[in-house]
Amino acid sequence: MSLRPLGMEPPPERELLCIFGTGDLGRSLGQRLLQTGYRVVYGSRRPHSCGPLPPGAQVMSHTEAAQLAAVVIVCVHREHYDFMEEVAPQLKGKVLVDVSNNSKKGLYPESNAEFLQSLIPAASVVKAFNTVSAWSLQNGPSDAHRQVFLCGDKAEAKQAVRELATRLGLSVLDRGSLSAAREVEDFPLQLFPEWRLPLCIATGLTAFFFFYLLIRDVIYAYVEQDKDISFRIMVSLANKVFPIVSLIMLSLCYLPGVMAAILQLYRGTKYRRFPDWLDHWMLCRKQLGLLALGFAFLHVLYTLLIPIRYYVRYKVTAHTVISKQTAVFDTTSAWRTDSYFSVGILGFALYVLLGITSLPSVSNALSWREFSFVQSKLGHLTLLLCTLHTYLYGWNKFLRPSTYKWCTPPGYMLCLVVPSVVLVLKLLMVLPCVDRSLGRIRQGWERTGPEGEGTKPLMA
């Protein structure tokens, strides 16, 4: 006899899901499904010796497990799909979720999901969960680990998998039909795709200025002055390269935005695509800025190291012993050095602030206006302070003939070219007449064509 109160319906039975495979991903996925409220049954080739499984899960043979669930998640490598044809009758009309990946691109002529569909044509194969790791499932997905790419030919099957992913706390991005499975399977094989261009730029700039300064400082002293100062490569030369690369890369973060604004003013509309190279450049500005911040940190650390270097202590001691008269205090030099250090400290502080606000956990807590203010307004102020810091470093050295060794300008002069251009162009962009026209264009206004039909907003 049931002891439930009259009129109370029995609780609905939880949905049963089947997982083929008891490896790390299969166990982690099963544990999350059990925590979410599903019932889980595992299909294994060795059901009696498959290792520890999540509490509450059942394990049986592939054939027995496939008969119990309408959705079967295949957590098995493609090399072990040989058993799938044996259980094909039990999988007829069911949803197969393929989560497999390959070790490298182009390993097979077709994607794993398409191959699985050819093995079980009576089932509906959906590609999903291949971008989620076992670690993120165990610890709870966050940020980049929340996104799941999904593709398949049957809308009903994709809807079932979408609901499953949503209940697991994941965000789903539909990539279309099963023919997109190859692209989805290539996503986990990508190694820092958004960092390639910034890393190439950073490496190229570092190598160029290292060898440029090596020739001007070390080789020049050895050839022209018969001095061996090769020991300065490790600290002095590196501490010149790092700030140069940092300043150039910071200016490269803001140069594409200025170029895009100029292009919109020239075209008279915002509804035309930017060139692919400019679009790609703008998409990697965050990575450029983070690398620039890294070089700035190295510059700060190497600068703090200067007082304890043997070469510096030796020079100070030698100067103290040899000098017999007190040097005249130069107020101009005092102002310059204090301003040089003060501007550098302020610039680095804003540098760090930009880096902190680029973190997803921080940027998600800011409104768009706040984020734009920090990254744009304070970003250009950071560029201005760092550029001024470099100008104060050079001061009037450009007037001395000894500055141009072998008729080449020093490295800090070369690094001032790009940020100076960016700041001048930005100054032109904020002029009232230019800023007003640019604001109207970004609100939908378009310039008249050759027919001269008058100006009109594109979106009324």
105: helix, strand or coil:
coil
If asked whether residues 29 and 133 sit together in one domain, one would say yes
**Is the model's pLDDT at 254 over the cut of 60?**
yes
Domain range enclosing 134: 16-189
401 and 376 assigned to the same domain: yes
CA dihedral sign of residues 59, 62, 67, 70: positive
Q: Is residue 458 part of a domain?
A: no
Answer whether residue 460 is part of any domain. Answer: no
Domain boundary among 189, 207, 233: 189
Task: Answer whether residue 64 shows pLDDT above 70.
Answer: yes
Q: Within a domain: residue 451?
A: no
Considering the domain architecture, whether residues 166 and 203 belong to the same structural domain is answered as no
Is the model's pLDDT at 458 over the cut of 80?
no
Residue 111 reports pLDDT greater than 80: yes
Contact 102, 60 (CB under 8 A): no
> Do 181 and 303 reside in the same domain of the chain?
no
Q: Are residues 76 and 159 in the same domain?
A: yes
**For the stretch 48-73, what's the b/e string if a residue is b when 16 or more beta carbons lie within 10 angstroms of its beta carbon?**
eebeebbeebbbbbbebbbbbbebbb
Same domain, 339 and 240: yes
Together in a domain, 99 and 154: yes
Question: What's residue 325's pLDDT?
Answer: 63
Are 372 and 390 contained in the same domain? yes
| The domain boundary residue, chosen from 133, 155, 189 | 189
The pLDDT tens digits of the residues spanning 193-222 come to 889 999 999 999 999 999 999 999 999 999
Are residue 105 and residue 227 in the same domain, yes or no? no
User: What total number of domains does the chain contain?
Assistant: 2
The predicted pLDDT at position 7 comes to 52
Does residue 167 lie in a domain region?
A: yes
Q: Does 447 fall in a domain?
A: no
- Do 271 and 345 lie in one domain? The reply is yes
Element (H, E) at 392: helix 379-394
In a domain, 4, yes or no: no
What is the CATH number for 146? 3.40.50.720
What contacts 33, CB < 8 A, 6 or more positions away? 17, 19, 40, 168
pLDDT in tens, 347-383: 999 999 999 998 887 888 888 888 889 888 999 999 9
> Region 303-329: what's the mean pLDDT?
76
Considering the domain architecture, whether residues 273 and 417 belong to the same structural domain is answered as yes
- Does the pTM surpass 0.85? The reply is no
Does the residue 32 lie in any domain? yes
**Is the model's pLDDT at 455 over the cut of 50?**
no
85 and 38 housed in the same domain: yes
